[in-house]
Amino acid sequence: MGQSSATGPDTTPHPASRILSGLDPLGTLLAALLAVGLLALPLMVERPNRIAEGTALMAWSALPAGQALALLAVSGLAAPLLAFRITPPLRLAAGAAALLLLGLAAGWAADHLTPPGDRYSRVSLESGWWLAFAAAGLATGDGLARLRPGPGTKVAALAAIALLAALALRSGFWDNLSVMREYAGHSDTFGREVRTHLGLALSSVAAAALIGIPAAILARSVPPVRRALLAGLNGLQTIPSMALFGMLIAPLAWIGRTIPGAAELGIAGIGPAPAFLALWAYALLPVTAATVAGLDAVPGPVRDAARGVGMTSRQRLLQVELPLAFPGLLTGIRIVLVQNIGLAVIAGLVGGGGLGVFVFQGISQNAGDLVLLGALPTAALASGVAVLLDAAIALSRAKERVP
């Protein structure tokens, strides 16, 4: 008879299994993207002028030897850290370090590749830099999100990033980058277009709130009116933005020509008027729907209690229902404001001004960095507004939970 084994089956995990179980899926993807961006794709492109074909350069060709080694060393350390299940603070530090080195590398490469006194050559960021920057930025955001920061921490982080970017821009560190040379050529109009862009986005959302919130309150208790209102606004939302901007040109031109005083108010076929009306139309549905949803979410027992203590319908609305619906309403405003900051770019196509002026000029001139001069501030404004309103929403919900 054979002897039975004194020990059970070997349950020791295989080394490969231990390694795989320690990998973080998102971190592994971001680490791979970071490695591909720095090792397999060009980091910068060098052109003799703003529209000529350029020469793509890998990281070790675009940077001086010491700076290239620093970038690759820090990124080479950050990538394995991101790939494994590490603590959120360490993940945040790894992503932020890679992000900082990429920002420094952009300035180092621009200075290294630009001949002294040369005003015509252009040094631009290439696909490898953008891919690595996106991966490092997502890793930084993921690390911050895993720390579960409060509203104050989010706003402080946003302020720190804005301050660092402002200091770098003011120091002239990135002045030899092509996008900054485009800014130097348009610095006299850049501030005005930023103000116009923000003005269009903010005013259109404010006008939508002034009309959408009362309309939602009135229509909420009448089901046929409510269905018709939301269906109509849904239909309006399906019209492509370019088509809606174009559809407004003819009627506004007629109003400007025929109605006394309309032209003096700025109403015309092209200009800010069609841009404002289109953005306002797109903002109506999210604001109205958020108001309806927020009011519907007020618990029935709360309404009954308010009615039981003798509150009138107006008092219940102003003192109970709207305050409880405010976080949901604020969420709708956040969505539509971020949306309209992006959509306001199209205003540049109909003479409405804003950062879209640079985008469409760059497209017409085949100047990619001029396009970036309009696109990058638009993305930064939308991201900043999203963080600020997220913090406001979190604070409003926290107040609801305070007994």
Number of domains in the chain: 2
Residues 212 and 334 in one domain: yes
CA Rg value for the chain: 27
Contact 204, 279 (CB under 8 A): yes
Q: How far is CA 147 from the centre of its chain?
A: 21
Select from 120, 148, 176 the last residue of a domain.
Answer: 148
| Tokens found for residue 366 | 């085949």
Residues 228 and 372 in one domain: yes
User: In this structure, is residue 174 part of a structural domain?
Assistant: no
Q: How confident is the model at residue 264 (pLDDT cuts 50, 70, 90)?
A: low
Cα(245)–Cα(284) distance, integer angstroms:
16
Residues 201 and 100 in one domain: no
The amino acid sitting at 263 is: A
User: In this structure, is residue 265 part of a structural domain?
Assistant: yes
The whole-model pTM stands at 0.84
Cβ atoms within 10 Å of 326's Cβ, excluding its own: 18
| Tokens found for residue 195 | 């103000």
Contact 177, 124 (CB under 8 A): yes
Residues 106 and 213 in one domain: no
Q: What angle do CA 126, 129, 131 make, to 5 degrees?
A: 105
| Tokens found for residue 297 | 């979410």
User: In this structure, is residue 96 part of a structural domain?
Assistant: yes
Residues 219 and 282 in one domain: yes
User: In this structure, is residue 246 part of a structural domain?
Assistant: yes
Q: For 59-82, what is each residue's pLDDT tens digit?
A: 999 999 999 999 989 888 888 888
User: In this structure, is residue 54 part of a structural domain?
Assistant: yes
Residues 193 and 138 in one domain: no
Residues 142 and 192 in one domain: no
Bridge pairing between strands 44-47 and 122-125: antiparallel
Select from 95, 129, 148 the last residue of a domain.
Answer: 148
Cα(274)–Cα(242) distance, integer angstroms:
11
User: In this structure, is residue 155 part of a structural domain?
Assistant: no
Q: Which of 191, 58, 193, 209 is nearest to 129 (CA)?
A: 58
Strand spans (E) along 254-330: none
Cα(296)–Cα(303) distance, integer angstroms:
11
Q: Which of 225, 176, 153 is nearest to 391 (CA)?
A: 153
Q: For 208-255, what is each residue's pLDDT tens digit?
A: 999 989 988 888 877 888 888 888 888 877 777 767 767 777 676 777
The answer to whether residue 109 scores a pLDDT higher than 90 is yes
- The CB-side HSE value for 160 (13 A sphere, CA atoms) comes to 8
DSSP code at position 344: G
Exposure letters 273-296 (e unless 16+ CB within 10 A, then b) = bbbbbbbbbbbbbbbbbbbbbbbe
Contact 72, 130 (CB under 8 A): no
Residue 101 is predicted with a pLDDT of 93
DSSP code at position 5: P
Residues 138 and 233 in one domain: no
The amino acid sitting at 310 is: G
Query: How far is the CA of 167 from the CAs of 154, 160, 170, 189, 335, in angstroms?
Result: 20, 11, 5, 21, 30
What is the domain-level CATH number for residue 247? Answer: 1.10.3720.10
Exposure letters 127-145 (e unless 16+ CB within 10 A, then b) = ebbebbbebbbbbbebbbe
- Look at the block and give the residue holding tokens 């959509």: 343
Q: How confident is the model at residue 19 (pLDDT cuts 50, 70, 90)?
A: very low
User: In this structure, is residue 7 part of a structural domain?
Assistant: no
Residues 294 and 384 in one domain: yes
Residues 353 and 232 in one domain: yes
The answer to whether residue 362 scores a pLDDT higher than 80 is yes
Q: How confident is the model at residue 401 (pLDDT cuts 50, 70, 90)?
A: low
Q: Who has greater pLDDT, 222 or 371?
A: 371
Residues 213 and 81 in one domain: no
Domain hosting residue 217, numbered range: 187-401
Residue 118 is predicted with a pLDDT of 81
Cβ atoms within 10 Å of 347's Cβ, excluding its own: 27
Select from 148, 171, 203 the last residue of a domain.
Answer: 148
Determine the 3-state secondary structure of 247 from DSSP: helix
User: In this structure, is residue 125 part of a structural domain?
Assistant: yes
Residues 144 and 191 in one domain: no
